[in-house]
Structure 1
Amino acid sequence: MKRFALFVLGSAVALASAASLRAENWPQWRGARLDGISAEKDLPTKFSPTENVAWRFPLPGPAGASPVVWDNQVFLTTVDGNDLTLMCIGTDGKLQWKQVVSEGNKVVRDGEGNSASPSPSTDGKHVWAFMANGTLACYTVDGKEVWKLNVQDRYGKLDIAFGMTSSPVLDGDKLYLQLIHGEGNPDTREAVVVCLDAASGKEIWKRDRPSDGKNECEHSYASPIIYRDAKHEFLLTHGADYAIAHRLKDGSEIFRVGNLNPKGNYNPTLRFVATPVAAEGMIVIPSAKNGPVFCLKPDAEGDVSFQDAAYFWQRERDTPDVPSPLVHDGIVYLCRENGNLITVDAKTGEEFYTQPTVRDRHRASPVYADGHIYLTARNGNITVVKAGKTFEIVSTNDMKESISASPAIAGGTIYIRTFDALYAIRKAK
C-alpha cells in the first residue's frame, strides 16, 4: 500500500499509533482508512472452501456486515433467530464471546439483507455495534457492555425500508452517524448528522442535513467517511441526492455536491448505496443506477454541483451501484453491480479498460492487497484481478456460499464472511 506522508483517512482510532498500522489491523468497514486498502503481503490468490482455509467458523445467521479485526480478535454482527448479536471470534477460529445487542430482526431485499447489516468498529479496547433498528452499543473487547442507546429515542422514529444500515465512522474518541431517512416532502424529511462521544455515547453535536431530494433515502444505506490531509479535514455524508462535507468540530456544512440525480432527468427511485472513497488529494463520489461518478478536489466550498473547477473529472455514467470505489496508485477501480470492472486515471478520468468478471450481482466493495484487487460476487465467487492499467484475471475462487459482505484483511489473512460462516483464508505454513 502506498503510504502517504500527510494523508490519513478517517481512521478508526485516529489511528492509535504507527505500531497499529504496522500490525495491519482492519478496525472498521473498508479498513483503517476506510479505503479498502491493505498493506499485507504474501496473501493467497487461490482459495476455496477447502484450499488455503485456516479455519471455518459457522455463523448462526446471515448478514452483510463485514468483519473487523484487531490483533487476535475478529468482531462481527449477525442475526441469531430474532436476536441481533455481536460476536468475537479469535484469530484461532474459536468463539471468545457473544452478546445480544438487540432483538427484532427484519429480513429485506429477498434475504440479501437484515437488521445486522451495519459493520462494527473497534479501537482494540472497545467495540461498537450498530443495528438497523437504531440500537447502538459499546462493549469492551472482553464483551462487557459499556453503554447502549437507540437513536430513535433521541432523533425520532426511523422511516427507511431496509432499516438504518449505514455503518457509523469511528475516529479517535468520536463516533459519527448519518441518519438520513424518510421520503416525500423534503421539508418534513428526517435527516441529521450526529457526533457522539465514543466512550459514553453522549451527544457532542447534531446537525440537520437539508436536501431538495425527493424519495431517494428510504432505500439508501451508504455510509459516511472522513477526509484528512495537511490542510483539510471533514466528515462526508452521502444521501438524499447530495454528498455533503461537514466540519468535524460542529458539523457545519463546508460544501455540497449535487447533480448526482440530475434534475433534468430525475429518477425518483434512485438511492445511494455505494459510499465515496478518499485518496491523497481527491474524493471519488459515486451515485447509483448507472448514474455519474465525480472526482472532487478537497478544497471545495459552497454548492459546487455545477462548478467544473471543483473536479478533477466527471464521468456521466458507469457508477458502481452498490460496491464502493477503490483508489490505488493513481488508478480508480469501479466495480459495477454486474461484475464489470472499470479502471480510470485518478487525476484525469482517462479510461484504461472496461472488462467483465463474474456475471452475477456484486454487493461487496473491492479490496486491494499485495498487487491484487479482490472482487466479491453475491454467488460466492471472488475474482482476483492484477492491479494496474492492464486487465488480467489471476484467479476466480468459488466459495460455494452466498456473500454480500466485503472482505477484511489483517495478519496475513483474508477474512471472508459468507451467509453461512466466517472463513480465515491464509497460506499454509
Structure 2
Amino acid sequence: MANRHRRRLKVWTLTTLVWNAGLLVGVIGFANENWTSFRGDGSSVVQADLPTQWSPEEVTWQTEIPGYGQSAPVVWDGQVYVTSSEGAFQQDCQVHAFDLRTGDKNWTKQIVATTPVENYFRNSRAAPTCCVDDSGLFSFFPSGDVTAMTHAGEQRWSLSLFKKYGEVQNERGVASSLAQTDDHLYVLIDHHGPSYVVAINKADGSIAWKTDRGDRIPSWSSPVIAQINGRKLVITSSADTVDAYDASTGEALWQHHGLQGNHIPSPSVMGDRIFVGSTTMYGGATDADATAGSNCCLKLTEVEGKPSFDFLWGAERANSYYSTPLAFAGYVYYVNKVGVLYCVNQETGKQVFAKRIGTPCWASAVGVTNRSGESLVYFVLKNGFTLVLRPGDEYDQVARNQLYDREAMLEAQELAAEQRRANAVPSDQVKPKSGPEKVFAGMPETQLHKIFSYGDPMVYGVAVAEDRLLIRTGQTLFCVGG
C-alpha cells in the first residue's frame, strides 16, 4: 500500500507541476474548447473537467443523427460536426452540425457521392472523421469525395479523389480519417492497387502533392501530424510499415518496416514519440507474438540534419484491435478484440497489467487531466459503457457508467435494422465478393453480427470539448457533462 501511495503521489506531483505551470500562463481557457480532428490533436490527451459518474438519466442531451455513420465528432466554437450516409450505394452523403450545449441540430447538408459504395454493415459507412478549423469544416467519405464547407454549411469546394486517381480495391471500404496542418489536408489511401498519400490545399481543394506508396494491402488507419525542430511530418502506420513524409513537399523521409497487423489502429503522437498499434485479424496478421511486438514505440530523431527515428521498444504482450493506443501519464493502453486491456510502461514497453474489461473499444481512449491535477483515462466501450480509470501500476477503476438502458438499446437495435433494410442493395446489384469477404458472403446477417459482435447500438467515436464528453453511435449523438 505504501508503494502504491508513493506511485500515486508521484503521478499527482508531476501532473500538479504541469497544471501549476499552466496557471502561470493564465486560468482562462483551461478546458479544450475545440476538438479539431480524429483524436483531437492526434494524441487523445486533453485538459477538461469531465464527470466521472453518470447514468442514462444523467446524460446531458442526446440527439438523433439521420442516416448511419461511423465517424467521430469534431467540435469548433460550440458546434459539433458528424457525418452519415444513406442509400443502397451510400449515394447520399450528409454532414450535420449540432449545438454543443443543447444538442439542437443547426443544419444538415447533402453531398452526392461520385463513386458508389455498397451500404452494408460490414463496409465502412461514413467512417472517416472530419477536420475543422476557423475557416470551416472538411469532410471525407468512402466515395472518395473531399469537401470544404463554411461553419454555416455553405460548400466552398469539392474534390473527387477516386475520379482523379482511380477507385480503390478494398471490399470493406475506406475508413481513414483526414489529418491537417494550417494549410493542408492529408488523406491516406492503401489498398490492393496504386496506393498513395496526398496533400490537399485547404483554400481551394487543389492538390499540393501526391506521393505514391506502390501496391499495398487494404488498410483503414489514419495519418497523424508530428513535428521535430519545427519541421512538420505526416506519419502513417499502415500495411506493415510506419512512414514519415515531409508535410510541405511529400518527400518520403524514412520507413520502419517488418511490422504485422497495423492495418486498423492509427499511430498516436506524443511529443517526439510515435506509438504504433497492431492487431491480429482474419485474412491478415495471425502471429500473436509478432503482432504484440508491432505494438511499438518509435522516437523521432535527426541524423545530419535529416529526420530519422529510433526504434525504442516492441510490447511483450499487447493487441490494439480497432482503437488507437493511448499514451498518457507514463503508460500506454491497448484494448484487443475480446475486450482485454493491456497497460505497458511508456518508457520500456514492459507489461504493467492486463485486465478483461468486457467488450472491446472501437472509439479510442482519452486521457484527461482536470483542474485538480488528477489524471484519468476514459474508455468508452463498444456497448456504450464508459470505464474511468486512474493511471497507475495496478488496474484502478474509478467508475463504470451506463449510457443507455435496455429499452433504449432495443429501440436503437430496431432503428438500425430498419435503416439496413431500407438501404439494402438489390440482390441483382450486389458485387461478387473475393478474398476473406467471399467466405462471409452467403452467411445470414444475424450470424455475421454474432461472429463479429456488430450488434447496434455501437459506439464508434468520442470527442471532448468545453468540459463535455461527446459519444457517437451509428444513429445517435450523446453529450455527458457541461
TM tier, shorter chain?
A: 0.7 to 0.9
| Shift, 1:315, TM fit | 2.1
Q: Does 1:180 align with 2:190?
A: yes
- Write out per-residue CA displacement over residues 46-96 of structure 1, whole angstroms, 9 at most, x where no aligned residue: 223322x22111122332210111121000101245522000001221111
In the aligned structure 2, how far is the partner of 1:243 from the partner of 1:88? Answer: 34
| Shift, 1:378, TM fit | 1.9
Report if aligned partners of 1:134, 1:151 keep a CA contact under 8 Å in 2: yes
| Shift, 1:327, TM fit | 0.8
Pick from 196, 201, 207 the counterpart of residue 203 of structure 1. 207
Distance 1:19 1:130, change over 3 A: farther
Report the counterpart of residue 343 of structure 1 in structure 2. Answer: 343
**What is the DSSP-based 3-state SS (H/G/I as helix, E as strand, rest coil) of the residue aligned with 2:98?**
strand
Q: Does 1:107 align with 2:116?
A: no
Report the counterpart of residue 298 of structure 2 in structure 1. Answer: 296
For residue 251 of structure 1, what is the amino acid of its counterpart? G
Pick from 32, 39, 42 the counterpart of residue 47 of structure 2. 39
- Write out per-residue CA displacement over residues 163-200 of structure 1, whole angstroms, 9 at most, x where no aligned residue: 22100112111111111112xxxxxx211111110111
- Write out per-residue CA displacement over residues 125-161 of structure 1, whole angstroms, 9 at most, x where no aligned residue: 3101100110110000000000012101111112111
Report if aligned partners of 1:323, 1:337 keep a CA contact under 8 Å in 2: no
In the aligned structure 1, how far is the partner of 2:62 from the partner of 2:107? Answer: 17
Distance 1:282 1:114, change over 3 A: closer
Distance 1:192 1:116, change over 3 A: same
Pick from 260, 267, 281 the counterpart of residue 276 of structure 1. 267
| Shift, 1:368, TM fit | 1.4
In the aligned structure 2, how far is the partner of 1:412 from the partner of 1:376? Answer: 16
Pick from 362, 374, 377 the counterpart of residue 378 of structure 2. 374
**What is the DSSP-based 3-state SS (H/G/I as helix, E as strand, rest coil) of the residue aligned with 2:234?**
strand
Report the counterpart of residue 454 of structure 2 in structure 1. Answer: none
Report the counterpart of residue 88 of structure 1 in structure 2. Answer: 97
Report the counterpart of residue 162 of structure 2 in structure 1. Answer: 152
Report the counterpart of residue 129 of structure 1 in structure 2. Answer: 139
| Shift, 1:399, TM fit | 2.1
Distance 1:271 1:285, change over 3 A: closer
- Write out per-residue CA displacement over residues 282-333 of structure 1, whole angstroms, 9 at most, x where no aligned residue: 11112221412111111277xxxxx9x9222112542202110111122111
Report if aligned partners of 2:78, 2:99 keep a CA contact under 8 Å in 1: yes
- % identical equivalent positions: 26
Pick from 46, 49, 73 the counterpart of residue 56 of structure 2. 49
Structure 1 length as normaliser, TM-score?
Answer: 0.83
| Shift, 1:281, TM fit | 2.2
Q: Does 1:165 align with 2:156?
A: no
Distance 1:384 1:230, change over 3 A: same
Structure 2 length as normaliser, TM-score?
Answer: 0.74
Structure 1 unaligned segments of length 5 or more: list them. 5-17, 183-188, 262-269, 302-306
Report the counterpart of residue 424 of structure 1 in structure 2. Answer: 479
Report the counterpart of residue 224 of structure 2 in structure 1. Answer: 225
Report the counterpart of residue 442 of structure 2 in structure 1. Answer: none
Answer 1 or 2: which has greater helix percent: 2
**What is the DSSP-based 3-state SS (H/G/I as helix, E as strand, rest coil) of the residue aligned with 1:181?**
coil
For residue 57 of structure 2, what is the amino acid of its counterpart? T
Structure 2 unaligned segments of length 5 or more: list them. 1-14, 19-26, 281-287, 370-374, 410-456
In the aligned structure 2, how far is the partner of 1:403 from the partner of 1:152? Answer: 29
In the aligned structure 1, how far is the partner of 2:44 from the partner of 2:162? Answer: 30
In the aligned structure 2, how far is the partner of 1:288 from the partner of 1:3? Answer: 36
Report the counterpart of residue 186 of structure 1 in structure 2. Answer: none
**What is the DSSP-based 3-state SS (H/G/I as helix, E as strand, rest coil) of the residue aligned with 2:163?**
helix
For residue 42 of structure 2, what is the amino acid of its counterpart? L
In the aligned structure 1, how far is the partner of 2:164 from the partner of 2:297? Answer: 35
Q: Does 1:396 align with 2:393?
A: no
Output the aligned Cα RMSD.
2.6
The answer to which of 134-143 and 237-246 deviates more is: 237-246
| Shift, 1:229, TM fit | 3.5
Report the counterpart of residue 76 of structure 1 in structure 2. Answer: 82
Give the 4+ runs in structure 1 shifted more than 6 A: 1-4, 18-21
For residue 37 of structure 2, what is the amino acid of its counterpart? Q
